[in-house]
Amino acid sequence: MDGTALALLELGAVLFVLGLLGRLAGRAGMSPIPLYLLGGLAFGQGGFVELSGANDFGHLAAEIGVVLLLLLLGLEYTAPELVTGLRRSWPAGLVDLVANATPGAVVALLLGWGATGAITMAGVTYISSSGIVAKVLADLGRLGNRETPVVLSILVFEDLAMALYLPILTTVLAGLSVLSGLRALGTALACVTVVLLLALRYGRQVSALLASDDREVFLLELLGAALLVAGVASALHVSAAVGAFLLGIAISGATARQAVKLLEPLRDLFAAIFFVAFGLNTDPAAIPPVLGWAVALAVVSTVTKVATGWWAAGRQGIRAPGRARAGAALVARGEFSIVIAGLAIGIGTAATELAALASAYVLLMAIIGPVAARLAEPAYALLHRGPPAAAVGR
């Protein structure tokens, strides 16, 4: 069988299985991310059947998946919302950063992965999954709750922190000097500042430049702009993901809403391929040796996220049941943790073990997060021997 036929067969099989896994996850009321990762592990190196024909497409599609994930995330925010959220949430954001980045860094050091591994794992355990959190809040009807703005403001802080963290991580993984790292951080700060200023003052003009009533034209312009910006950002060692996120922030109004509707199916498709591609590059045999560490990290970082949300909601005068809901909502990790771990694949001797630990950890947290969010209030009521309180207004 020639290479093209083999690639088409493998790609078709992967996409079809992804659809079945997504349907299964939907019926179970859970995020499909763990199933996508498991699918990649099953058909990658060391899996049941190793796919080779679709590798080239999978690599490029995974990169596009990251760009679309971050572009859509940026489209959810406007520049004024980001600025307001940052002012409101920076104390809670700093507590969140210290409490949840520390466990990952400590485990990496204990495993002997050095400073590079510590910086990478700190990001993996730090950031919550905006996609999973938003879906769970919507599914549980909590978007109007008093604690929800607290949760969203912490997510905004995390997303902005990633805009500064990813360039530093990229520089460290590339083995560049401290001076190069500082230069990358300065470039990232300048890019974030410039984009926010442009979005605040010229958001309408940027949106008008891309807007079109023709869906085909609009899609081509939008996707082309996202890939161009991501490529330029990558060339500047700022990270393609950050470039896409900043472009999303700069687009606002009706153009942003139209872009979300148009890009969501593409985002879901390429993001699914991204998670599978990460699994394909992770050796399942490397997971058992680090599974104990993954479980320990899951337990510790669940406690630290719940404590962060509890404290942040308490600062806003929210009563105990709402504080429990806020903490549990932040538990899930997902797409960003895998993006961070994916950057480390193939770099350094600990890359295989790090990818395995990140996979096991995200598998656990993507399942624990939604479950914790659903059980937080009943568990709190049970501990205090009272009936569950009304969901809204406390």
User: How do the domains of the chain map onto residue ranges?
Assistant: 3-18+30-383
Question: For position 393, what pLDDT does the model report?
Answer: 46
The Cα–Cα gap between 202 and 122 comes to 36
The Cα–Cα gap between 258 and 236 comes to 30
Question: For position 184, what pLDDT does the model report?
Answer: 67
Scanning the chain, the segments in alpha helix (DSSP H) are 3-28, 33-43, 55-75, 79-110, 114-126, 130-139, 148-173, 178-210, 215-235, 240-250, 253-280, 287-315, 320-329, 335-344, 351-383
Distance of CA 115 to the CA centre of its chain: 22
The Cα–Cα gap between 292 and 36 comes to 22
In CATH terms, the fold of domain 3-18+30-383 is Na+/H+ antiporter like fold (1.20.1530)
Query: CB of 108 within 8 A of CB of 294?
Result: no
Low-confidence ranges of the chain (pLDDT < 70): 1-3, 44-58, 82, 85, 175-181, 184-185, 188, 237-239, 345-350, 385-394
Rg (CA), the chain: 21
The Cα–Cα gap between 236 and 246 comes to 14
- Let me know if 178 is exposed, middle or buried by CB neighbors in 10 A (0-12, 13-18, 19+): exposed
Q: Which three-class secondary structure state does DSSP give residue 295?
A: helix
Distance of CA 150 to the CA centre of its chain: 19
Question: For position 96, what pLDDT does the model report?
Answer: 95
**Single-letter code of the amino acid located at 340:** I
The Cα–Cα gap between 230 and 236 comes to 10
The Cα–Cα gap between 293 and 347 comes to 21
Question: For position 394, what pLDDT does the model report?
Answer: 46
Question: For position 124, what pLDDT does the model report?
Answer: 93
DSSP class of residue 1? -
* Count of positions (residues) in the chain: 394
Question: For position 232, what pLDDT does the model report?
Answer: 82
Question: For position 177, what pLDDT does the model report?
Answer: 63
The Cα–Cα gap between 262 and 255 comes to 10
- Let me know if 364 is exposed, middle or buried by CB neighbors in 10 A (0-12, 13-18, 19+): buried
DSSP assignments along 81-107, one per residue: HHHHHHHHHHHHHHHHHHHHHHHHHHH
| Tokens linked to 125 | 């355990």
